[in-house]
């Protein structure tokens, strides 16, 4: 019968004839047969099952085998013996190789009829050893899936005892080699199914033997933490962790992060590869394991690892949000990365170019997952815009896209930002554990934020960009007698010559912070600037007294300190009693002018009545109207300057005019007249009598709210002129001696005249936020060296408002802590329009050089002498060279040892700072 069956199936007869033959043969299986007949039928059925060219022949072989094994179980046990099975697994079925998946399907059928036999224990023990051997030979995903089905049907075949742990570890080593070689959708789906069935073998073992889970996970970590080579671990390993009970997560992570034998490079590699698992579909809990492990690394304060993982992988994680099948896990991990990485905006900025595209894609996709993802993405975006203000040019495209979409409350944003942020850490590690990005294309160097120190960073960058002051500081000698000035010189030198993208000003912060400032808290940058200039001024005065004779000290005092020469101005306050008309006069020095914003509906049309003469001040439009005295709508500058518009109801000249306008002292504010010996109504006027080389203007934007008992911020948009002209009262002299084109008018009674002094805008410190106790400072600045003619400056102003042309003086830069970028005067003028919480706070103006002004010429000549002075101190120059060399070495370190290089760098920098 066996030969007839084989002949019919191999013949060209129709399928119906063949099916009829198979039916008759299987029906005859119940008849008594001798041993040889049974063996013959088992052989032909096995041959058809394993070697059949078509699925029909293989199914026919299976059907015949099952029928005869069922009715002749004893004979089948003799045929399907341990030796036969061992030969199948080790040698295959000629010509079928041992790796054929058909063999495991055949074994599954055969085991059904011997599983209950007396010798089954020995049989399955043999299978356990063979299963382990097969896994150690690293079979492919299809063969593993067939094996998984076999073990699922006959769990007695799973290795037992200590071999179970070895089996799990070797299975992980096998899965790491799985790679899909096809792009067709059906092939990919089949590959995913094979992997799922294979990893399911781990689940079967772990359910019955919990003790094998930890050794298996340790093997998994070894696999994903090994250095990259020719074999990259497959993302199919993501299917493994979904079967680990979540209640074990905390203990597993704690063991890994506290294991001394695991290096930082290994942990870094493992986390990066786990990030790649997010592209693996149909798995659960991958995101939970990634986040848990990152939290564990943060708990042991290995922040360099987290920083590198975030900056390396965040764009890859973000890209997965475009695919619904993996979107949920990717969104969870992305949220953690962005909300935990709050030391720098770098991670967020990497995503900014891609956010508009994703928002558009999610908005067009009509699905619940897309709507949820869009809501979460918008919330994340607003949180990070709130956390990292000061990048108006960068943020404008995104804000324009989301302006009509829901905005979370400030309380909600603060809550999200506070939940996942890494704990405060050593400032040096925050400073230098950033991935070593190249220096800004601007060539400028940023300053590291050491914990709410943006108030200092913005002031330092504004002072540094005041080129005359910078050159003077860097050319000073005997700085060992001027400790604070010496540290400023060192900081300026590093900003000028460092190859780093940013440097840490920790040493200068420690030396310059006012005693009443609370470290780590936000402070008022104007208050800090005044304190710093005062400290530097007093220090230089004391240093001069120690090193000079009495005569030379007197001469030096008359000339003034560097701070006085650069920032010192003078003003006179005159108060006239309206009863006896007596005028009191008080002169005082200033380093900045604090300009209050006039109250609503305040009229600037006020008479200037101290002097009966009419002062003259040049403006761009025309000279002042002699019938109105000092015009309190004084315009400024050039065609590029900002005047009152619907967007900016006030301008800086308006505030200066308000500052200079007469103030009536009446009621509770009456003036005590010494001549009348009583309180009298009076009029007070402030006049600038000496214009400083650098004019610092501070807008008094913070007022005390009696209702909330807190300082609140005035958010009025104030337009900033590129060129500013202020009236200065000077002793009587020829008008042309004041400067080119300036007009003077002598006073018949005072022996003085008003002149217009021209200043060019050099830098603007912007405050972002709603109160002085919170928010962020950043700085716009340009190199304002002077020396240009007025007409040339006017042309530069036009160029900045109308085109991208760049010159040394019309190129603006944006300094935001470690970040420095190119910007424009247009960005300066529009910042409050686009970002209402971002308002100009402190401005630096540089006096335009005048060929004939005596005081001005003296200051410029002093600065030029300093420019041509001796080069940097040798010790300071060597320190910069050493630091640049160290930076170059670390920037070239291999990826896998980056954290080690960073921590070595921190130690070296500590030594440099100490020395």
SS3 581: coil
CA-to-CA dists, residue 616 to 729, 746, 791, 896, angstroms: 10, 9, 21, 70
Nearest in space to 649 (alpha carbons), one of 664, 626, 665, 633: 633
SS3 322: helix
Q: Which pLDDT value is given to residue 807?
A: 58
Nearest in space to 892 (alpha carbons), one of 880, 905, 882: 905
| Interior angle at CA 14, CA 8 and CA 16, nearest 5 | 90
Element (DSSP H or E) covering residue 268: helix 264-276
- What phi and psi, each to the nearest 5 degrees, are found at residue 616? -120, 130
| Interior angle at CA 332, CA 331 and CA 338, nearest 5 | 85
Are the C-beta atoms of residues 189 and 197 closer than 8 Å to each other?
Answer: no
Are the C-beta atoms of residues 781 and 843 closer than 8 Å to each other?
Answer: no
Nearest in space to 491 (alpha carbons), one of 515, 543, 456: 456
Strand pairing class (593-596; 694-700): parallel
Q: Which pLDDT value is given to residue 604?
A: 55
Number of Cβ within 10 Å of residue 460's Cβ equals: 25
Query: How far is it, in rounded angstroms, from Cα 650 to Cα 406?
Result: 31
Q: Looking at 454, 479, 525, 784, which residue is catalytic?
A: 454
SS3 720: coil
| Interior angle at CA 646, CA 643 and CA 651, nearest 5 | 30
Nearest in space to 888 (alpha carbons), one of 903, 873, 905, 912: 905
Number of Cβ within 10 Å of residue 749's Cβ equals: 8
Q: Is residue 454 among the annotated active site residues?
A: yes
Q: Which pLDDT value is given to residue 246?
A: 92
Query: How far is it, in rounded angstroms, from Cα 334 to Cα 355?
Result: 13
Number of Cβ within 10 Å of residue 897's Cβ equals: 15
Element (DSSP H or E) covering residue 885: helix 874-891
Query: How far is it, in rounded angstroms, from Cα 753 to Cα 714?
Result: 35
Query: How far is it, in rounded angstroms, from Cα 283 to Cα 279?
Result: 10
Q: Which pLDDT value is given to residue 911?
A: 46
Partners of 447 in the β-ladder = 503
Strand pairing class (671-673; 583-590): unpaired
Query: How far is it, in rounded angstroms, from Cα 706 to Cα 716?
Result: 20
Query: How far is it, in rounded angstroms, from Cα 210 to Cα 213?
Result: 6
Residue 541, class by beta-carbon neighbours within 10 Å (0-12 exposed, 13-18 middle, 19+ buried)? middle
Query: How far is it, in rounded angstroms, from Cα 194 to Cα 191?
Result: 5
Are the C-beta atoms of residues 827 and 393 closer than 8 Å to each other?
Answer: yes
Nearest in space to 630 (alpha carbons), one of 650, 604, 603: 604
Number of Cβ within 10 Å of residue 882's Cβ equals: 14
Partners of 703 in the β-ladder = 712
- What phi and psi, each to the nearest 5 degrees, are found at residue 791? -65, -40
Strand pairing class (678-680; 776-782): unpaired
Q: Looking at 194, 767, 776, 887, which residue is catalytic?
A: 776
Nearest in space to 365 (alpha carbons), one of 421, 322, 418: 322
DSSP-assigned letters across all residues of 589-610: EES-EEEEPPPTT--------S
Query: How far is it, in rounded angstroms, from Cα 230 to Cα 517?
Result: 56
Q: Is residue 776 among the annotated active site residues?
A: yes
Are the C-beta atoms of residues 753 and 745 closer than 8 Å to each other?
Answer: yes
Kindly give, in sequence order, each residue whose CB lies less than 8 Å from that of residue 198, ignoring residues fewer than 6 positions away.
141, 144, 145, 147, 148, 171, 174, 175, 178, 239
Query: How far is it, in rounded angstroms, from Cα 469 to Cα 495?
Result: 14
Query: How far is it, in rounded angstroms, from Cα 252 to Cα 511?
Result: 45
Nearest in space to 759 (alpha carbons), one of 634, 622, 888, 587: 634
Kindly give, in sequence order, each residue whose CB lies less than 8 Å from that of residue 52, ignoring residues fewer than 6 positions away.
58, 60, 61
Are the C-beta atoms of residues 823 and 814 closer than 8 Å to each other?
Answer: yes
Helix, strand, coil fractions of the chain, as percent rounded to 5: 55, 15, 35
Are the C-beta atoms of residues 451 and 424 closer than 8 Å to each other?
Answer: yes
Partners of 699 in the β-ladder = 595
Residues of the chain whose pLDDT is less than 50?
424-434, 550-552, 606-648, 734-750, 787-789, 792, 800-805, 851-854, 856-857, 861, 863-864, 866-869, 895-900, 902-915
> In this structure, what DSSP letter does residue 93 have?
B
Are the C-beta atoms of residues 744 and 703 closer than 8 Å to each other?
Answer: no
Partners of 574 in the β-ladder = 585, 685
Nearest in space to 356 (alpha carbons), one of 318, 412, 408: 318
Number of Cβ within 10 Å of residue 358's Cβ equals: 17
Are the C-beta atoms of residues 697 and 843 closer than 8 Å to each other?
Answer: yes
The number of helix segments (H) and strand segments (E) in the chain equals: 37, 20
């Amino acid at each position: 019968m066996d030969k007839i069956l084989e002949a019919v199936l191999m013949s060209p007869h129709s399928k119906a004839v063949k099916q009829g033959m198979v039916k008759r043969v299987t029906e005859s299986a119940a008849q008594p047969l001798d041993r040889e007949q049974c063996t013959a039928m088992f052989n032909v059925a096995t041959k058809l099952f394993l070697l059949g060219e078509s699925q029909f022949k293989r199914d026919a072989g299976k059907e015949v085998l099952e029928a005869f094994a069922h009715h002749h179980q004893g004979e089948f046990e003799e045929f399907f013996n341990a030796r036969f099975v061992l030969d199948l697994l080790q040698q295959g079925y000629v010509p079928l190789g041992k790796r054929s998946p058909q063999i495991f399907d055949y074994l599954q059928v055969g085991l059904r009829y011997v599983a209950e036999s007396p010798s089954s224990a020995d049989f399955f023990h043999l299978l356990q050893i063979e299963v382990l051997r097969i896994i150690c030979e690293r079979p492919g995903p299809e063969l593993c899936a067939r094996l998984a089905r076999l073990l699922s049907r006959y769990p007695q075949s799973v290795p037992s005892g200590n071999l179970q742990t070895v089996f799990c570890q070797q299975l992980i080593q096998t899965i790491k080699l799985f790679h899909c070689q096809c792009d067709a959708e059906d092939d990919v789906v089949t590959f995913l199914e094979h992997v799922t069935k294979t990893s399911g073998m781990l689940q079967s073992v772990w359910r019955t033997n919990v003790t094998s889970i930890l050794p298996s996970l340790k093997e998994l970590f070894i696999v994903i933490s090994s250095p990259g080579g020719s074999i990259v671990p497959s993302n199919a390993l993501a299917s493994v962790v979904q079967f680990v009970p979540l209640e074990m997560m905390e203990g597993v992570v704690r063991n890994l992060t506290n294991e001394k034998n695991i290096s930082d490079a290994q942990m870094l590699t493992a986390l990066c590869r786990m990030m790649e698992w997010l592209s693996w579909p149909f798995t659960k809990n991958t995101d939970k394991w990634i986040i848990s492990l990152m939290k564990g690394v943060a708990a042991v304060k290995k922040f360099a690892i987290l920083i590198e993982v975030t900056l390396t992988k965040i764009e890859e994680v973000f890209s997965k949000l475009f695919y619904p099948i993996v979107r949920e896990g990717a969104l969870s991990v992305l949220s953690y990365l962005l909300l935990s990485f709050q030391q720098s905006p770098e991670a967020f900025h990497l995503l900014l170019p891609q956010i508009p595209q994703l928002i558009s894609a999610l908005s067009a996709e009509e699905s619940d997952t897309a709507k949820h993802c869009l809501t979460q993405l918008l919330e994340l975006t607003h949180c990070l815009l709130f956390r990292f203000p000061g990048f108006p040019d960068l943020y404008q495209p995104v804000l324009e896209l989301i302006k009509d979409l829901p905005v979370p409350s400030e309380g909600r944003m603060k809550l999200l930002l506070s939940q996942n942020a890494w704990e405060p850490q050593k400032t040096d590690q925050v400073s230098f554990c950033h991935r070593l990005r190249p220096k800004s294309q601007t060539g400028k160097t940023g300053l590291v934020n050491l914990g709410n120190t943006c108030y200092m960073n913005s002031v330092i960058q504004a002072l540094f960009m005041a080129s005359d002051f910078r050159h003077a500081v860097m050319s000073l000698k005997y700085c060992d007698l001027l400790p604070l000035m010496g540290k400023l010189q060192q900081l300026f030198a590093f900003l000028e010559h460092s190859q780093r993208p940013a440097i840490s000003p920790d040493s200068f912060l420690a030396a310059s912070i006012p005693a009443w400032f609370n470290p780590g808290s936000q402070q008022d940058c104007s208050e800090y600037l005044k304190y710093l200039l005062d400290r530097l001024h007093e220090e230089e005065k004391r240093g001069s007294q120690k090193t000079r004779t009495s005569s030379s000290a007197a001469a030096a005092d008359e000339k003034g300190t560097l701070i006085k020469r650069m920032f010192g101005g003078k003003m006179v306050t005159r108060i006239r009693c309206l009863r006896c008309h007596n005028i009191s006069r008080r002169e005082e020095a200033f380093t900045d002018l604090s300009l209050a914003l006039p109250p609503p509906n305040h009229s600037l049309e006020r008479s200037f009545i101290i002097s009966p003469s009419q002062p003259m001040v040049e403006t761009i439009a025309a000279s002042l109207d002699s019938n109105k005295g000092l015009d309190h709508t004084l315009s400024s500058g050039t065609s590029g300057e900002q005047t009152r518009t619907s967007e900016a109801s006030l301008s800086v000249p308006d505030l200066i005019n308000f500052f200079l306008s007469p103030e009536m002292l009446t009621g509770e504010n009456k003036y005590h007249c010494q001549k009348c010996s009583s309180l009298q109504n009076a009029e007070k006027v402030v006049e600038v009598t000496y214009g400083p080389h650098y004019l610092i203007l501070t807008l008094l934007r913070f007022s005390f709210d009696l209702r909330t008992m807190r300082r609140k911020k005035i958010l009025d948009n104030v337009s900033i002129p590129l060129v500013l002209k202020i009236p200065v009262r000077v002793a009587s002299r020829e008008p042309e001696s004041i400067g080119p084109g300036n007009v003077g008018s002598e006073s018949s009674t005072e022996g003085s005249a008003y002149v217009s002094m021209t200043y060019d805008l050099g830098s603007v410190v912007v405050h972002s936020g709603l109160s002085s106790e919170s928010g962020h400072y950043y700085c716009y600045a340009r190199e304002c060296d002077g020396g240009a003619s007025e007409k040339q400056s006017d042309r530069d102003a036009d160029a900045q408002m109308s085109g991208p042309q760049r010159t040394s003086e019309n190129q603006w830069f944006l300094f935001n802590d470690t970040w420095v970028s190119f910007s424009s005067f247009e960005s300066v003028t529009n910042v409050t329009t686009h970002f209402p919480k971002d308002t100009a706070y402190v401005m630096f103006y540089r006096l335009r050089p005048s060929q004939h002004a005596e005081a001005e010429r003296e200051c410029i000549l002093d600065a030029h002498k300093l420019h041509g002075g001796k080069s940097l101190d040798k010790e300071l120059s060597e320190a910069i060279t050493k630091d640049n060399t160290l930076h170059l070495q670390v920037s070239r370190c291999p990826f896998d040892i980056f954290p080690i290089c960073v921590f070595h760098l921190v130690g070296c920098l500590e030594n440099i700072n100490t020395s």
